[in-house]
Amino acid sequence: MTHRARAEVGGPEDGPGGGSGDGPGGGIGPADGRPDAEAPARRPVPEASHPGLTASEVAERTARGEVNDVPVRSSRSTADIVRANVFTRFNAIIGVLFAIILVVGPIQDGLFGFVIVANTGIGIVQELRAKRTLDNLAVIGEARPTVRRDGVAAEIPTSEVVLDDVLELGPGDKIIVDGEVLETDGLEIDESLLTGEADPVLKKPGDRMMSGSFVVAGAGAFTATKVGREAYAAQLAEEASRFTLVHSELRTGISQILKYVTWMMIPTALGLILSHLFTLGLPADEAIRRMVAGIVPMIPEGLVLLTSVAFAIGVIRLGRKHCLVQELPAIEGLARVDVVCLDKTGTLTEGGMVVREIRPRNGAEEPYVTQVLAALGTCDPRPNASLQAIVDAYPATDTTWTATDTLPFSSARKYSGAFLATPDGDRTTWLLGAPDVLLPPGDGALADIDELNAQGLRVLLLAATDRALDDPEVTAAVRPTALVVLEQRLRPDASDTLRYFADQGVQAKVISGDNAVSVGAVAGSLGLPGADAPVDARSLPADAAAMAAVLSRSTVFGRVTPQQKRNMVAALQSHGHNVAMTGDGVNDVLALKDADIGVSMGSGSEATRAVAQIVLLNNSFATLPSVVAEGRRVIGNITRVATLFLTKTVYSVLLAILVACWQIPYPYLPRHLTLLSTLTIGVPAFFLALAPNKERARPHFVRRVMRYAVPSGLITGTAAFTTYLLARSYYTGPHALPAETSAATLTLFLAAIWVLAIIARPYTWWRIALVLAMALGFVIVLVTPWLQRFFDLKLVGTTMPWTAVAIAAIAAVLLEITWRWVARRFPA
């Protein structure tokens, strides 16, 4: 289908400069996604076009508040961050317990409350830093619509668009406000993100435009009828904010663990308070302190905080490399990916291309061919990368050619066209596009084309036809006139990036709309295995299972339509793969949206950047390994420190059960467990969570953590309780309980520090120093008189303290044996 349009073919000033800039997919953005680039210049609007609002009209609408004031948020608001870190289930529980301790005293037993305040503060600060990084990068990466005002077209921030503004559109542009079409030149809009309808809609003047849709082909202009919160997309909750949570196994697993802990706390608290009050007859204040001491360590409150901090710091680190992570858990998601689907253009190759040669056919002369190409170049105000190379090589200088009908390029069609006429009566329909689409199978020209494609070159066919552009059979019986040979520049870092993915066990699939042989040649020159057997996607089966079978065998696919890209992602996911999709063109949007993780280039179309979770603002494919490495650091380290937190939860539950069964006082006060938690979990976990970690991301987070935490907690808790029982039989008198508690605390600390020593492996100098520093901190408490009094810790005699050490040593041996057995029995 075409839309009739009449345009005089003019000089270079009427050509590609009419657009606001080109990415490989025909999209535009401020500085093309590069932080250091200059904004495009303003340009006059053609006389036949709508001039747009005047400055005074814009000022009037701004004063009335008719502005597109919906904030483009790449992260949670400050209020959301504070609320998420402060108003949590466990902070509420800790707050209540802290308030109880403040009533019954002493303040030493309420130290855990101050730790929660400090940790929450750290979480807020880190997330605010990450928010600032995200928001700054989002401003750099945000596309700026081209708006006509006072007869001049220029790019402005999205938030400055006002009611009745006239906005220009080209391939890849996202419709940011609702409106009504004014001008069209084969304008095709994809509304699938809003309506679910996959087929592009051909727009005519007067048709409705919905915000949230995007241009797939053609060009045009529309006037804004609804802006800000009245626009269609702004009324949808998921469109109002970019901050959404992709699936995160870490978050899901931690939530699952916390749910079970919550249910265990209630009966444990009741059992402890009733046992101490009625069975043991302790005073109410003492019974409450012992109950609080038994409940507080069961709460792995720092685990949630540490996960958020780790994600936030990951965002900050990647932000320094101009990588915008629009959804925090996307860092984790890319680290879990086992298949990455790559678009060739703009990913493996640089966006720009150059014309290498023209090969006339069927007696055509090269000067005539170049005139036709120059005329075709002026028919598209926003040429894609291929047409831009032709425009650069053959700028239009002859003003006698006239285009009375145009057909914009579409990635689904694989060709564009125009009906050109000259004063001497030459009136011809010209098509420019993929040779294997325009020519019938077996055509003699295809042999030459295959030879060129085998060299990694891109080939376009210029062909003439007697049919009209809107004829469904326009490609039938075309007359080949020339082959246009384009050369693509390989990204210098693409080979190393592909090698990295191969080393990490991540399959790379090259999925492109270009000729399969050409794509295979490019991939082969980069050393991608399987590139010597490319597959033409037109031969792929429609059945998802059959398609998945082909995808598992092959690596390179050419002539892939946008819908096929989407189907290929779904087929891979149906076989249990975590799929990442990279792309920069409008033809990649549907696949990016459906992939587990979508990665867009900063210079790509606005539509691709809107649906992607990760945007590479520096347009460097080589940044992806950094994202993978950051995700693996987060996953690996959180898995490590989660074992520390949950070991504490297990031994706390065990001690509470044993105390209730033996009908004896709980051995610890809150201050004791605050000290132990700080030295064996809190401080070391913070450093371990931020350390480098290159371990491959593995699934089943909860199972991996609990298989170590449960036996470690049981051994540690049993050792501490054994020491406590022995101390109860050894010490006598009215002041025996503090001595018993001190001995039990010594055993618990030594066993817990050994768990830390195991988790800190493999050792580096700073890990060894970290463990030794924590041990030194406990020694300082034991030998400093005022700290002894503050924490109510004092080792009495030598027999029982050395017994406590011996029991801890036995526990350490059991821990080593258990960890080795678990590693063999349940390999990762």
Q: DSSP string covering 706-752, please? A: HHHHHHHHHHHHHHHHHHHHHHHHH--STTHHHHHHHHHHHHHHHHH
Mean pLDDT of the 586-607 span: 80
Same domain, 515 and 529: yes
Q: Which residue has the higher pLDDT, 25 or 267?
A: 267
Mean pLDDT of the 402-427 span: 82
Interatomic CA distance for residues 240 and 73, integer angstroms: 8
pLDDT tens string 160-185:
899 999 999 888 788 888 999 998 88
pLDDT tens string 378-389:
887 777 778 888
| Average model confidence (pLDDT) across the chain | 81
Contact 226, 178 (CB under 8 A): yes
pLDDT tens string 668-703:
888 888 899 889 988 898 888 888 777 777 778 888
Interatomic CA distance for residues 151 and 166, integer angstroms: 10
Mean pLDDT of the 221-225 span: 93
Q: Please tell me the predicted confidence (pLDDT) of residue 29.
A: 31
Bond from prior residue into 71 cis (ω within 30 degrees of 0):
no
Q: What are phi and psi of 426, to 5 degrees?
A: -75, 110
Is 770's pLDDT higher than 90?
Answer: yes
Q: Please tell me the predicted confidence (pLDDT) of residue 238.
A: 36
Mean pLDDT of the 20-46 span: 42
Whether residue 436 lies inside any domain: the answer is: yes
Mean pLDDT of the 205-225 span: 87
Q: Please tell me the predicted confidence (pLDDT) of residue 70.
A: 65
Q: Please tell me the predicted confidence (pLDDT) of residue 74.
A: 52
Contact 611, 192 (CB under 8 A): no
Q: Please tell me the predicted confidence (pLDDT) of residue 823.
A: 83
Same domain, 534 and 467: no
Lowest mean pLDDT among 129-133, 242-246, 457-461: 242-246
Contact 287, 274 (CB under 8 A): no
pLDDT tens string 704-763:
888 899 999 999 999 999 999 999 999 887 778 889 999 999 999 999 999 999 999 889
Closest CA to 453 of 471, 436, 433: 436
Lowest mean pLDDT among 37-46, 606-615, 790-799: 37-46
Tell me, what CATH number does 162's domain have? 2.70.150.10
Closest CA to 131 of 73, 71, 72: 73
Q: Which residue has the higher pLDDT, 644 or 27?
A: 644
pLDDT tens string 144-166:
889 999 888 888 888 889 999 99
Whether residue 1 lies inside any domain: the answer is: no
Count of CA atoms in the C-beta half-sphere (13 A) of 802: 3
Same domain, 485 and 501: no
Same domain, 477 and 550: no
Same domain, 460 and 495: no
Last residue of a domain, one of 187, 206, 240: 240
Interatomic CA distance for residues 794 and 791, integer angstroms: 9
Contact 770, 697 (CB under 8 A): no
Tell me, what CATH number does 293's domain have? 1.20.1110.10
Last residue of a domain, one of 474, 489, 504: 489
Q: What are phi and psi of 176, to 5 degrees?
A: -95, -20
Is 772's pLDDT higher than 90?
Answer: yes
Supply 106's token pair: 């002493």
User: From the candidates 32, 178, 338, 343, which is the catalytic residue?
Assistant: 343
Count of CA atoms in the C-beta half-sphere (13 A) of 808: 20
Same domain, 412 and 466: yes
Q: Please tell me the predicted confidence (pLDDT) of residue 718.
A: 96
Q: 609 burial class (0-12, 13-18, 19+ CB within 10 angstroms)?
A: buried
Interatomic CA distance for residues 769 and 766, integer angstroms: 5
Whether residue 448 lies inside any domain: the answer is: yes
Last residue of a domain, one of 437, 464, 489: 489
Is 490's pLDDT higher than 70?
Answer: yes
Closest CA to 232 of 195, 189, 182: 195
Same domain, 467 and 593: no
Reduced to 3 states (helix: H, G, I; strand: E, B; else coil), residue 680 is: helix
Same domain, 456 and 551: no
Q: How confident is the model at residue 212 (pLDDT cuts 50, 70, 90)?
A: confident
Q: Which residues have CB under 8 Å from 341's CB, separation 6+?
A: 509, 510, 511, 565, 568, 569, 572, 579, 580, 581, 582, 591, 595
Q: DSSP string covering 589-618, please? A: HHHHHHSSEEEEETTS-HHHHHH-SEEETT
Count of CA atoms in the C-beta half-sphere (13 A) of 409: 28
Q: DSSP string covering 430-494, please? A: EEEE-HHHHSPTT-THHHHHHHHHTTT-EEEEEEEESS-TT-TTTTTT-EEEEEEEEEEEEPTTH
Lowest mean pLDDT among 9-23, 193-207, 430-444, 635-649: 9-23
| Most confident residue range from 189-193, 410-414, 799-803 | 799-803
Is 18's pLDDT higher than 50?
Answer: no
Which range marks the domain in which residue 706 is found?
A: 264-310+628-825
Whether residue 736 lies inside any domain: the answer is: yes
Residues of the chain above pLDDT 90, percent: 20
Contact 227, 161 (CB under 8 A): yes
Tell me, what CATH number does 545's domain have? 3.40.50.1000
pLDDT tens string 344-354:
777 787 767 78
Whether residue 128 lies inside any domain: the answer is: no
Q: How many helices and strands in the chain, by DSSP H and E?
A: 28, 23
Lowest mean pLDDT among 72-81, 218-227, 680-689, 707-716: 72-81
Q: Which residue has the higher pLDDT, 611 or 237?
A: 611
Q: Which residue has the higher pLDDT, 645 or 330?
A: 645
Helices 78-86 and 301-319: crossing angle in degrees, nearest 10, is 150
Interatomic CA distance for residues 690 and 309, integer angstroms: 9
Residues of the chain above pLDDT 70, percent: 86
Same domain, 467 and 499: no
Interatomic CA distance for residues 360 and 373, integer angstroms: 12
Tell me, what CATH number does 399's domain have? 3.40.1110.10
Give 174's DSSP letter. B
Q: How confident is the model at residue 10 (pLDDT cuts 50, 70, 90)?
A: very low
Active site residue 450: no
Q: How confident is the model at residue 291 (pLDDT cuts 50, 70, 90)?
A: confident
**Residue 9: its H or E element:** none
| Most confident residue range from 14-28, 262-276, 739-753 | 739-753
Whether residue 315 lies inside any domain: the answer is: no
Q: Please tell me the predicted confidence (pLDDT) of residue 25.
A: 33
Q: Please tell me the predicted confidence (pLDDT) of residue 215.
A: 86
Q: What are phi and psi of 335, to 5 degrees?
A: -70, -25
Interatomic CA distance for residues 782 and 698, integer angstroms: 41
* Alpha-carbon radius of gyration of the chain: 34
Whether residue 12 lies inside any domain: the answer is: no
Closest CA to 267 of 294, 246, 241, 248: 294
Q: Please tell me the predicted confidence (pLDDT) of residue 17.
A: 31
Q: How confident is the model at residue 38 (pLDDT cuts 50, 70, 90)?
A: very low
Q: Which residue has the higher pLDDT, 300 or 416?
A: 416
Is 515's pLDDT higher than 60?
Answer: yes
Q: Which residue has the higher pLDDT, 52 or 38?
A: 52
Same domain, 508 and 434: no
Is 78's pLDDT higher than 70?
Answer: yes
Contact 600, 342 (CB under 8 A): no
Same domain, 495 and 484: no
Supply 70's token pair: 């919906």
Whether residue 319 lies inside any domain: the answer is: no
Same domain, 632 and 606: no
Beta bridge partners of 614: 325, 599
Helices 301-319 and 624-662: crossing angle in degrees, nearest 10, is 170
User: What's the domain count of the chain?
Assistant: 4
Q: How confident is the model at residue 779 (pLDDT cuts 50, 70, 90)?
A: very high
Model's pTM, two decimal places? 0.67
Q: Please tell me the predicted confidence (pLDDT) of residue 30.
A: 33
Q: How confident is the model at residue 661 (pLDDT cuts 50, 70, 90)?
A: confident
